[in-house]
Amino acid sequence: REYGISKATGDYLTFLDVDDTLSPKALQTMVDAFTSDTDIVISGFNVLKQGKIIKSKTLCSVLFDNLSYLKKVLCGQYGWELCAKMYRRTLFLDPIETPSGIRIGEDAAVFIQLVCRARNVKILSECLYDYIQYSQSASHIKSLKYAEETLMAAFFIEEILQKTPFYADVRSEIDAMFLLFYSNSTRRGCLGKEHPLV
């Protein structure tokens, strides 16, 4: 991903995981949704398993300023995955901090930094991204290592937010984020209250 960003020359960027697909109209629809002060456009997505749609995540069309959207992301009202989104390339001009040695939660850390840099975020109602679900994908594997990485990502995100002008405004939402990440971690492995990250 970082290599692709370094080679990009267009106005916009989007990410497509190697085993996922886009609808034929996805790119044009998202490009057309940008306005002069919109920096991120987000679509709904379908979840497919064995070639069949098992779930569709349809969103309501709405425009948010960055702080309002950031609060909703931290509370889990909107997803923090990088896919099903298009970004103005200028958001990537300054270096993005990434947590070392963390596979689970890295996308959330990157996405939250992009939201902090954006002016406005536009949500589209169409499902334009197809997420192909496999039982062996990292997000479905139970392991102590992935559980620990999930919580490490939450601490990393808080450190990132401490460097932004938004930190004082999102303290309650950061607490909610820690609860969400802890909930996710317990699905990936057993982390009891005696664990140092907990």
**Calpha distance 140→62 (Å, rounded):** 31
Q: Are strands 38-49 and 12-14 parallel, antiparallel or unpaired?
A: unpaired
Which strand (E) or helix (H) includes residue 154?
helix 144-162
pLDDT of amino acid 128? 97
Q: What integer is the mean pLDDT of 68-87?
A: 96
Question: What's residue 186's pLDDT?
Answer: 76
pLDDT of residue 48: 93
Which of 86, 83, 109 shows the shortest CA–CA distance to 96? 109
Question: Going by DSSP bridges, is the β-strand pair 120-132/21-22 parallel, antiparallel, or unpaired?
Answer: antiparallel
Distance CA 154, CA 173 (A): 12
- Mean of the per-residue pLDDT values of the chain: 91
**pLDDT tens figures, 17-29:** 988 999 999 999 9
pLDDT tens sequence across 152-170 = 999 999 999 999 999 999 9
> Is residue 8 predicted with pLDDT exceeding 90?
yes
d(CA 60, CA 62): 6
Q: Please, are residues 177 and 78 in contact by the beta-carbon 8 Å criterion?
A: no
Question: Helices (DSSP H) in 75-105: which residue ranges?
Answer: none
